[in-house]
Amino acid sequence: MLYREAGQFKTTYDADQAIFPIAQDRWAVIAFAAIAFLVVPFFVNDYWTNAVLLPLLIYGLAALGLNILVGYCGQISLGTGGFMAVGAFASYKLMTSFPELNIAIVVLLSGGATALVGVMFGLPSLRIKGFYLAVATLAAQFFLVWLFNKVGWFYNYSATGQISVPERSIFGLVVTGPTAAPWVKYLFCLSFLALFGLIAKNVVRGRIGRNWMAIRDMDIAAELIGVRPLQTKLSAFAFSSFYVGMAGSLLFTIYLGAIEVTEVFGINVSFLVLFMVIIGGLGSILGSFLGATFLVLMPIFLKNFMVDGLGLLPVLAKHVEILLMGLLIMGFLIVEPHGLARMWQILKEKFRLWPFPY
Amino acid sequence: MLFFIETVLSGLMAGVMYSLVALGFVLIFKASGIFNFAQGVFCLFAALTFVGIMEKTGVPWPVSFVLTVGVMIALAWAIERFLLSHLVNQEPIILFMATIGLAYFLEGFGDLLWGSDVKPLDIGLPSGASDWMLDTFDIYVEKLEVVAAVVAAALVTGLAIFFQKTRIGRALRAVADDHQAALSVGISLRTIWVIVWSVAGIVALVAGIMWGAKSGVQFSLSLIALKALPVLILGGFTSIPGAIVGGLIIGVGEKVAEIYLGPFVGGAIENWFAYMLALAFLLVRPQGLFGERIIERV
């Protein structure tokens, strides 16, 4: 009864093409954004930001980027961890070489640098397809991590090979480093996610996004009707890597502060982000966020439940956690292979008709 | 020159080990179109079970081997029954992700069951240098690697006979060729899948034992899947000879590059060199060396 679009007439093309054509959706999203921006910052503390909110926002951004590539353009990539590392090291080099540069610009430039690297590793996609490409992108993953580990220039020849973030502020508020307040970090990441989520939503609805989807559905047919494979595939790689690079940059500057490349950006990250995309829903912006939420919260929940709830030893709990994650992923794919986004859609359909069965 | 020959030989031997792992991938991909990422964890799980049974019960290794084969067959059946039969007709990437889930599950399960400490695997495989090679040609060759090469050759020959000469083998090839046609002449897809996964499980067991004898049975064993992937794309996902030749090329390339190129770029390049090598090959032949020609229709 509450969720019904009856009586909402669209009288202009603008109204017809709005991102949320249904008023209830629009209000819900505005309310959600208002809470996230105006209410949550007053309540966050250190634990919530560091354990839940920041990983959620940052991985949400990374999943969004990967979803553009895998979900919209159909090119499977397992190099996400490597590309995030590019973002992180680009921002480190930028911050140490140009100390006066604004941190927001640093993050954007890091995204740009990653986009360039992404295009370079995207070039083989013109010839290689499907799983061959997926394995080929692993080359990016291993090569980039090795590069940042071996070449001293990237970590300014520090003895440990670690990089740690210098302190930077924006609008007079400290954002990076240990002295930054949790709510500032949270708002900084949230702004990026909100802004670039909106941009992504509009891009995938436009000509570029439609080209991507045409290539995804059948690249030969798309080519025949005049979609240029070169530009389309590379633009998807660039776009996706831009997002992933920003996520890597935020992960380093805001969230972790100090990283060691082999630990933070290993192949597990690539799989984790790909899981987020698949469990969230391929080809869905909302799905990327839902998938990130699910996979960030689930391990915390499992760990708390097993260690504190059942009193298992942490070592044992770690094994059980891996086992349960595997089971959950398999179970999830069996129940709903199209991901959380599809579940949400089904739920909305049910709501429209409620309380009638059909 | 002698050193170069030694390097190539040891590369060839290492390549055989990669081929063993890659074989399991190829078998499953051929028969069901599933890119089974869990193959590496299969090796770990099989080797863990093999060692675990020997440790717990103290039976001699052939008994343990037979028991582990039984476990792998049961596992194959369970995977078909509880996972694959629910995912029929899904997109390849969904199936791929499901096998990653399976990898997690097996990893956690194996650790829970048998513990996560490094287990030495000692079934009397020879180790150390081969004296005969050292005396006659002055070349250093690991005995274990020779054994691995012989076992791999025997395994591949066995598989080839199995595929070419038996009824089941013929059915397997029919399924690999065309699912629908195979179904319509009365071949049960589900049975075939169980058989293929079992065979892949047994191949994984052999590979797991060989690798375990080399470096102990431990978690890092599951990472050899990542070593086998470049072998796969180099040889082609659907070709058994491809897996062998690809393994040899990667093995030799990796060793030679590590020794002659490594010092100039800082070493430890074997993590990514194989991938780059495979990538370079793919740019020339996108379907791998022996893969089926990709024919695309609108």
Contact A174, A180 (CB under 8 A): yes
Question: Which distant-in-sequence residues (6+ apart) come within 8 Å of A52 by Cβ?
Answer: A296, A297, A300
Residue A144 lies in a domain: yes
Residue with tokens 């071949």: B187
- CB neighbours of A1 closer than 8 A, spacing ≥ 6? A354, A355
Min Cα distance A221 → chain B (Å) is 6
| Binary contact (A322, B108; C-beta < 8 A) | yes
Domain boundaries, chain B: 2-17+27-222
Q: What's the structural domain count of chain A? A: 1
**Who's near A28: CB < 8 A, 6+ residues apart?**
none
Q: What is the pLDDT of residues A327-341, one digit of tens each?
A: 888 888 888 888 888
CA A224 to chain centre: 32
| B83 touches A: beta carbon within 8 Å | yes
Contact assessment for residue B259 and residue B25, using Cβ atoms and an 8 Å cutoff: no
Q: A with B: how many residue pairs have Cβ under 8 Å apart? A: 137
Q: Mind listing the pLDDT tens digit for each residue in A7-21?
A: 888 888 888 888 887
Give the pLDDT score at B133: 61
| A330 vs B101, B107, B287: nearest CB | B101
What ipTM does the predicted assembly reach?
Answer: 0.84
- Give me B113's structure tokens: 């069951």
Q: With contact defined as beta carbons under 8 Å apart, do B196 and B28 qualify? A: yes
Q: Are A137 and A241 in contact (CB under 8 A)?
A: no
Residue-wise DSSP of B209-255: HHHHHHH-BSGGGGGHHHHHHHHHHHH-TT-HHHHHHHHHHHHHHHH
- Whether residue B139 contacts residue B77, with contact meaning beta carbons closer than 8 Å, is answered with no
Domain that includes residue A125, residue range: 39-264
Task: Give A136-171 pLDDT, tens digit per residue.
Answer: 888 889 889 888 888 878 887 877 778 888 878 788
- Residue B297: exposed, middle, or buried by beta-carbon count in 10 A (0-12, 13-18, 19+)? exposed
pLDDT-derived band at A111, boundaries 50, 70, 90: very high
What is the average pLDDT score of chain B?
82
Structure-block tokens of residue A315: 């070592």
Give the long-range contacts of residues B147-156, CB within 8 A, separation 24 or more.
Answer: B147/B210, B148/B13, B148/B16, B148/B17, B148/B20, B148/B210, B149/B12, B149/B13, B149/B16, B151/B206, B151/B210, B152/B16, B152/B17, B152/B19, B152/B20, B152/B210, B152/B244, B155/B20, B155/B23, B155/B203, B155/B206, B156/B23, B156/B240, B156/B244
How high is the pLDDT of residue B267? Answer: 67
**DSSP H helix total and E strand total for chain B:** 13, 0
Task: Give the integer Cα–Cα distance in Å for B47 and A91.
Answer: 44
A333 belongs to a structural domain: no
DSSP A38: I
Closest CB from A135, A316, A333 relative to B230: A135
Q: What is the pLDDT of residues A231-243, one digit of tens each?
A: 999 999 999 999 9
- How many C-beta atoms surround the C-beta of residue A323 within 10 A? 19
Q: Which residues of B65-91 are buried (b: 16+ CB within 10 A; e: fewer)?
A: bebbbebbbebbbebbeebbeebeebe
Give me the residues of chain B with pLDDT under 70, please.
122-141, 262, 266-267
Predicted pLDDT at B13: 81
Amino acid at A273: V
B275–A316 CB contact, under 8 Å: no
**In this structure, is residue A318 part of a structural domain?**
no
The pLDDT mean for chain A works out to 87
- Residue B191 tokens read as 């049975």
The mean pLDDT of A34-38, rounded to a whole number, is 89
B132 to chain A, closest Cα gap in Å: 39
In a domain, A4, yes or no: no
Q: From residue B100, how far is each of A12, B39, B95, B96, B111 by CA, in Å?
A: 48, 10, 9, 7, 17
Structural domain contains residue A174: yes
At A243-295, the pLDDT tens digits run 999 999 999 988 888 888 888 888 888 988 998 998 898 888 999 999 999 98
pLDDT value, residue A63: 94
Nearest Cα to Cα of residue B32 among B245, B238, B244:
B238
Going by their DSSP bridges, the two strands A258-259 and A163-164 should be labelled as antiparallel
Q: Which of A69, A323, A324 is the best residue to mutate to test the B interface, defined by the most B CB atoms within 10 Å of its own CB?
A: A323
User: What are A247-258's pLDDT values in tens digits?
Assistant: 999 999 888 888
Name the residue among A137, A337, A132, A76 with its Cα closest to residue B29: A132
Contacts of residue A272, defined as CB under 8 A and 6 or more positions apart, other chains included, come to: A59, A295
- Chain B residues in contact with A267 (beta carbon < 8 A): 226
Whether A86 has a pLDDT exceeding 90, the answer reads: yes
Give the pLDDT band of residue A64 (cuts 50, 70, 90). Answer: very high
A118 φ, ψ to 5°?
-60, -45
Contact A326 B97 (CB under 8 A): no
Residue from A72, A126, A278 whose CB has the most chain B CBs within 10 Å, to mutate:
A278
Task: For chain A, say whether B114 makes contact (Cβ under 8 Å).
Answer: no
pLDDT of A109: 94
Distance (Å) from the alpha carbon of A39 to chain B's nearest alpha carbon: 37
Instruction: Assign 3-state DSSP to chain B and report helix, strand, coil percentages, each to 5.
Output: 75, 0, 20
Among B97, B112, B268, whose Cβ lies nearest the Cβ of A278? B97
Q: Residue A163: beta bridge partners?
A: A259
Among candidates A124, A151, A319 on the partner chain, residue whose Cβ is nearest the Cβ of B111: A319
The pLDDT confidence band at residue A87, using thresholds 50, 70 and 90, is: very high
- Closest-CA residue to A62 (of A230, A277, A254): A277
